[in-house]
Amino acid sequence: MAKYKIFVDGSAGTTGLRIADRLAAWPEFEILKISEADRKDVHARAAVINESDLSFLCLPDDAAREVVPLLRPDVRVLDTSTAHRTSPDWLYGLPELGTTRQKLPAATRVAVPGCHATGFIAPVAPLVEKGLLPKTARLSCYSLTGYSGGGKKMIAEYEAPRENGALNAPRPYGLALHHKHLPEMKAITGLECAPNFVPIVADYYAGMETMIPLDLVALGLDARQVADALAAYYAGARMITVHPLCEGTDGGFLAANKLAGSDRLEIFCLANPDGTQMQLISLFDNLGKGSSGAAVQCMNLMLGLDECAGLAL
């Protein structure tokens, strides 16, 4: 059987390197290469992508936007940047949502979701889709990530001899409330207003914990109704698990790095005793279901391979 020709454009970055490492040993693939001299030449990169059966764009937004107009319309592309996530011409690559899994085999332009966005969209989008959460709902979201989410520069800062004492404590960021994931968090959930979102980076390598508090009384919701709706929506999903209402924590704790190294995502539905408040929590690896794992899952479905091939369950 002929091999698929695969190219990772930007394989020196954190996400690109992890994707390249995942695919290197697959007998189904011929990994296309580009010379160091041509790596920053957009036309040279486009030529390699146009030779491929499928390519990953692991690039800054502007570089991704620059190369796409030079590509054949039929070449299959997975973009891990934020450049095309809300474009109507691109399929948003969260296979578990709606009819996305059915659309992926024919898709040529797929935008891989952002890490924080995945944690917010996974529990919220089904509730909006099913009419439980109104599109007018104004939500808050807090998302804790390991420092690998900041890329090479931040990784180096955290792993160098520690001179900056601020790195010892969790650090909220994006405090201008203008984070790059907000457009997709709004668009893909169908909400009319983006959430009040505060990401937090802490002194551990990988793992993400995204928390969405719900005022059940104000929203006219019942905790059991929410938990059951999410369980039904993701029933049969191989990479997303929904825990029963008020179950699944580790004695009341939930470590953000618990799923580090995994490509799965788990949703926790936690409510207070009188059922007036609820916390929806997505737990996953920011480098797994939050980036490279999600990209590989989409690739598998686009190429007709087993959905979970090469993924850590």
Which residues are marked as active site? 115
Give phi and psi for 250, each to the nearest 5.
-100, 80
What are the strands, taking DSSP E only, across 52-162?
A: 54-57, 76-79, 91-92, 109-111, 140-146
User: What's the Rg (C-alpha) of the chain?
Assistant: 20
DSSP 65: H
- Kindly report the length of the chain: 313
Do residues 105 and 301 make contact, with C-beta atoms less than 8 angstroms apart? yes
- Whether residue 282 contacts residue 240, with contact meaning beta carbons closer than 8 Å, is answered with no
Cβ distance 238 to 308 under 8 Å? Answer: yes
Burial tier of 305 (Cβ tally within 10 Å: 0-12, 13-18, 19+) = middle
The answer to whether 55 touches 75, Cβ cutoff 8 Å, is yes
